[in-house]
Structure 1
Amino acid sequence: MITHIKFVSIPTRDQDAALAFYTEKLGFRVITDQPFDDKQRWIEMRVGSSDTRFVLFTPDGQEDRIGGFFNGSLACDDVQATYRQLKGRGVEFVSEPQKQPWGEFAIMKDPDGNQFVLSSS
């Protein structure tokens, strides 16, 4: 049976810049960083103790997907506090925290323009 999502891929133009953003600003931890081919590396990162990993990788022919909207949400305990912390580290937000009947959220983006919803757990 399927047990969990192993990884999701985040397309990027510059793996080094993306790696610095996700590790230094968001606090992700590198699990593996190894050569993939002559153009890219296979970089997997983990968020906290979660089994799900993020991969900084753009499959050939998918370069037009760079800078899109990530169809998912990154959970945090306190959207307001996390927003202030990440904004203080230089993370760009396209939407400040907003409260809705279903919870609170903000939208941030990475150096490639990929957008992520940050929401309450």
Structure 2
Amino acid sequence: MIRMVKFVSIPVSDQDRALAFYTEKLGFKVATDQQFNEKQRWIELRIPGAETSVVLFTPEGHENRIGGFFNGSFASDDVMKTYETLSARGVEFTGPPQKQPWGTFAMFKDPDGNQFVLSSR
């Protein structure tokens, strides 16, 4: 039976720039970085403490997905503290964290303009 999401793909235009952002600014760890084809590498990153990984890869013909909204959410125990830490590292947020009845969230962007939700319960 299905037991987890193994990875999600984040479409990027420049894999080296994206790799630097996700490792240096967000703190993800490289699990795999190998040549996939003549144009791209397969770069799989682990999120510390999580089972799900992210892949910095754009399937051929899907370049129009670069710079879109990520259909998911990254979780944090303390969104405000994470917001402050990542902002200090140069991560661009669309605004400060907002408290809602279901939890706190903030939105940030990567260098390609992909937008992500950071949330807590």
TM interval, short-chain normalised: over 0.9
Q: Which residue of 2 aligns with 1:2?
A: 2
**Residues 16-51 of structure 1, C-alpha deviations (whole Å, 9 max, x = no match):** 000000000000000000000010000000101311
Contiguous gaps of at least 5 residues in structure 1: none
Task: Determine if the alignment matches structure 1 residue 96 to structure 2 residue 104.
Answer: no
Alignment of 1:1-121 (within 5 A): 1-121=1-121
Higher strand share: 1
Structure 2: how far apart are the matches of 1:10 and 1:74?
Answer: 13
- Report % sequence identity: 69
Structure 1 segments of 4 or more deviating over 6 A? none
Contiguous gaps of at least 5 residues in structure 2: none
Structure 2: how far apart are the matches of 1:51 and 1:100?
Answer: 27
SS at match of 2:96: strand
Deviation at 1:56, TM superposition (A): 0.2
Structure 2: how far apart are the matches of 1:94 and 1:16?
Answer: 24
Considering only aligned residues, what root-mean-square deviation do their CA atoms show, in Å?
Answer: 0.7
Structure 2: how far apart are the matches of 1:13 and 1:73?
Answer: 21
SS at match of 2:44: strand
The number of residue pairs the alignment matches comes to 121
**Structure 1, 43-52 or 4-13: larger mean CA deviation:** 43-52
Structure 2: how far apart are the matches of 1:86 and 1:75?
Answer: 14
Structure 2: how far apart are the matches of 1:50 and 1:78?
Answer: 16
TM-score (norm 2): 0.98
For 2:95, the aligned partner's letter is S
Structure 2: how far apart are the matches of 1:52 and 1:69?
Answer: 19
Structure 2: how far apart are the matches of 1:95 and 1:29?
Answer: 27
